[in-house]
Structure 1
């Protein structure tokens, strides 16, 4: 995995360096991480309103490797998420924002609203696993990336550590886009 992690790190760095704006940079980051890890869906949450809430960024990733029905389910999960915001320490994105740490979520559909506000949406569209990771520049959270899967893998500490390391390394580069 060491060689693979070096490859993804170089790919992410190049993609961000070549991006002309935040939208393109986040699109590249979500696509590269999901393709490398095999996750089905990725989204980005950005602090707005003077850092008081997280809003869903327009860019997302939906795996082209899933069936048409699965892609449709992920698109509906995304559509139902549009317009939601998360205050500090509320919901998966808000908790990751507050803790500045990765959080893994098994079976979000069975979680209480306190743990996963979108549990009904996850149940309706078959989302089985998720995790959130902060993108940091120093001690400032620039974004929270959330990844979801229609399968139920066991928590993979190696994967979460790799993603955490990668997002920490790209934080300073994303800060150049004036988040």
Structure 2
């Protein structure tokens, strides 16, 4: 949903900022794949590059279904999840690799818009930092703010995609193509035509409207008063 270099840039910066600010060793950013209904790893950040190579490799290549692992559980519950010991947690498929590379604690929070989870951020540490109720509330609120950004980005990309599709069809068409917005104005016009959308609307839609009005008036005159 948020693929491409342009989409990854803001997420990479946000993930790095959150990981550093909360003093965790690494973080991963997951997005919901609506087509496959899984979480895909969109970004990964480690405060010490290549410090956890196997964990990074597995994380980048993994997909989590709803309820699976730390990110999947956050997705299903739409809440903050703290795992004090990821090496012994039952529902943590990466536990053996985490233990091998010295990771101890994990925490994840949802990025949501309304009741819909759009993504998950998870953080890991070699230490066992205390996680207070205030900390969980802060992460939940942060996830809500980031979710609004994700929703707006998705809407903007959907609009860009629709515009691009229209341009492709219009360029290949041999007839006029236009769309009408809520104010009954022609908002898009085939690139093959040099005329403005307003002139197209005037020349084809308005005469039709006038003819319909004349027919209604004539019908009224024929019926006459009773």
Query: Common fold, TM-score beyond 0.5?
Result: yes
Unmatched runs of 5 consecutive residues or more in structure 2: 156-226
1:111 lines up with 2:89 in the alignment: yes
Alignment match, 1:80: 58
Alignment match, 2:67: 89
TM-score (norm 2): 0.62
1-structure distance, mates of 2:13, 2:143: 13
Kept in 1: contact 2:28–2:45 (CA 8 A): yes
Which residue of the other structure, out of 122, 132, 145, is the alignment partner of 1:146? 122
Alignment match, 2:14: 29
2-structure distance, mates of 1:170, 1:119: 28
2-structure distance, mates of 1:91, 1:124: 18
Kept in 2: contact 1:105–1:130 (CA 8 A): yes
- Residue correspondences, number: 151
> Could you say if the C-alpha distance between residues 51 and 168 of structure 1 is closer, same or farther in structure 2, counting changes exceeding 3 Å?
farther
Report the Cα offset of residue 49 of structure 1. Answer: 4.7
1:161 lines up with 2:137 in the alignment: yes
Deviations 1:32-71 (A, max 9, x none): 11121111111011111525111111x222114xxxxxx5
Alignment match, 1:52: 37
1:62 lines up with 2:40 in the alignment: no
Report the Cα offset of residue 176 of structure 1. Answer: 2.2
1-structure distance, mates of 2:96, 2:44: 20
Segments of 4+ in structure 1 off by > 4 A? none
TM-score (norm 1): 0.77
Comparing both chains, which one has the higher relative contact order based on Cα–Cα distances under 8 Å and sequence gaps of 6 or more? 1
Alignment match, 1:173: 149
CA RMSD of aligned residues (A): 1.8
Deviations 1:106-130 (A, max 9, x none): 1101122xx1111111111111001
1-structure distance, mates of 2:77, 2:120: 11
2-structure distance, mates of 1:104, 1:80: 21
Alignment match, 1:132: 108
